[in-house]
Structures are given as structure tokens and as C-alpha cells.
């Protein structure tokens, strides 16, 4: 996974709450193979076709929405659609739990802001936004808001680590514990 430090890009403003995973990518499109084109071409398909939301534009890599973004089913394809289109950050007051975890596993930052800050970003005059993961700060013109993210997820995204990389980073501590534990509780070690 590619490490994430900062992202400055035009934002896609989705002034809607409860955009669920089926709206992010309708199930009928998941019959298509993801590669080589990816699922980005199906992102928000029905909501765009019905004129309910604007279509994302090339170069937009940050989404700003209202609460409960990515709720609904646990389909990881919803995050694939975002990532395949090129989105690196989703900003909202709340997320579906599984959706947020899937974001991190696919290199997309789920930046949680207050409802007031989400509204301010949706109404900001600035077309571009900067998301700084180290500082946990979002800037759009003169507007600056802080966001929250699970500290383990933040580390994973900053370093570009998956779950295995996170475990391997702790290898020296694991080895030290194992050696110390073998001395203290030799009877508990498996026999070879």
C-alpha cells in the first residue's frame, strides 16, 4: 500500500447523509470483473443517473459527505469503487464500521469530522482541500478543521502498512517477550 502523508486536490461534495455501500456501487455491477478497468466507472452510478448527486470528475481525490457514509452491507467493492476512481480520502461525520476498516485496508483515509465541520467543508468557497494525516487537519481556503482517525489506522496509512506489516514491525518486541517468557515459564513452551 502506498503511504499517505498529505493530499491536495479538488473535492467531490456529496451533500447527502446515509450514502450506503449499495449506493456507492450497486450490486449488479459486482458481477463484472474488477480488473483491468476497476470498479471506479460504477461509483455512485444510480444516484448520478437519477440526478441526485454530482458525478465525480477526474482529479478529484477527496470526498466530503454527511453522516453515516458507507453504512449498509459489508461489501468491500464500495471501497474498491472509490479507490479505483482515484479517491484517497473520505471526510464525513461518521462511517459504517466495516466500510471504514475496508478504507484503511485499501489506502483510503476515513477522516471523521463533526457535523458542523462537514457542513462548513460542503459550503466552503475553496474548490481544493488539503488533508494532512500527520497533523489530522483539513484545510480548504481559510477554513481549517481537525479530524479524528483510529491511531492504529493512522499509523498504517502513514507507513503504507497492511496488518501483516504492522505485526512484523513488532518482531523485536515479540522475540524479546518470547525469550523472556520461555525463561519464566519454560513449562509452557511447546516441546520440540
| Domain ranges for the chain | 6-161
Average pLDDT, the chain: 94
User: Which cell numbers in the block locate residue 134?
Assistant: 500527520
Tell me which H or E stretch contains 128. Answer: strand 128-132
CA dist 150 → 8, 63, 97, 103, 180 (Å): 22, 19, 12, 12, 31
pLDDT for the residue 32: 76
pTM: 0.89
| pLDDT tens digits for range 99-137 | 999 999 999 999 999 999 999 999 999 999 999 999 999
Q: Compute the distance between CA of residue 62 and CA of residue 185 in angstroms, rounded to an integer.
A: 52
pLDDT for the residue 96: 95
Cα three-residue angle 23-71-117, rounded to 5 degrees: 100
Q: State yes or no: pLDDT of 89 exceeds 90.
A: yes
| Cell 457535523 belongs to residue | 115
188 burial (CB, 10 Å; 0-12 / 13-18 / 19+) is exposed
pLDDT for the residue 85: 96
pLDDT (mean) for 55-72: 96
Q: Tell me which CATH code domain 6-161 carries.
A: 3.20.19.10
Q: Give the residue from 29, 110, 30 showing the smallest Cα distance to 70.
A: 110
CA dist 23 → 6, 44, 49, 75, 183 (Å): 28, 6, 11, 11, 56
Amino acid at each position: 500500500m502506498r503511504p499517505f502523508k498529505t493530499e491536495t486536490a479538488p473535492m467531490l461534495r456529496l451533500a447527502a447523509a446515509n450514502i450506503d455501500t449499495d449506493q456507492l456501487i450497486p450490486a449488479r455491477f459486482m458481477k463484472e470483473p474488477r480488473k483491468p478497468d476497476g470498479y471506479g466507472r460504477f461509483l455512485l452510478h444510480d444516484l448520478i443517473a437519477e440526478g441526485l448527486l454530482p458525478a465525480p470528475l477526474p482529479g478529484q481525490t477527496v470526498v466530503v459527505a454527511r453522516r453515516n457514509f458507507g453504512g449498509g452491507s459489508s461489501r468491500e467493492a464500495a471501497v474498491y469503487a472509490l479507490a479505483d476512481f482515484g479517491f484517497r480520502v473520505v471526510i464525513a461525520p461518521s462511517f459504517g464500521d466495516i466500510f471504514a476498516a475496508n478504507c484503511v485496508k485499501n489506502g483510503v483515509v476515513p477522516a471523521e469530522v463533526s457535523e458542523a465541520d462537514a457542513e462548513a467543508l460542503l459550503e466552503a468557497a475553496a474548490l481544493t482541500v488539503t488533508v494532512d494525516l500527520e497533523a489530522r487537519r483539513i484545510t480548504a481556503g481559510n477554513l481549517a478543521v481537525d479530524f479524528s482517525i483510529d491511531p492504529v489506522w493512522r499509523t498504517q496509512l502513514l507507513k503504507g502498512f497492511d496488518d501483516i506489516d504492522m505485526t512484523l514491525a513488532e518482531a523485536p518486541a515479540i522475540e524479546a517477550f518470547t525469550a523472556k517468557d520461555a525463561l519464566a515459564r519454560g513449562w509452557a513452551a511447546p516441546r520440540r
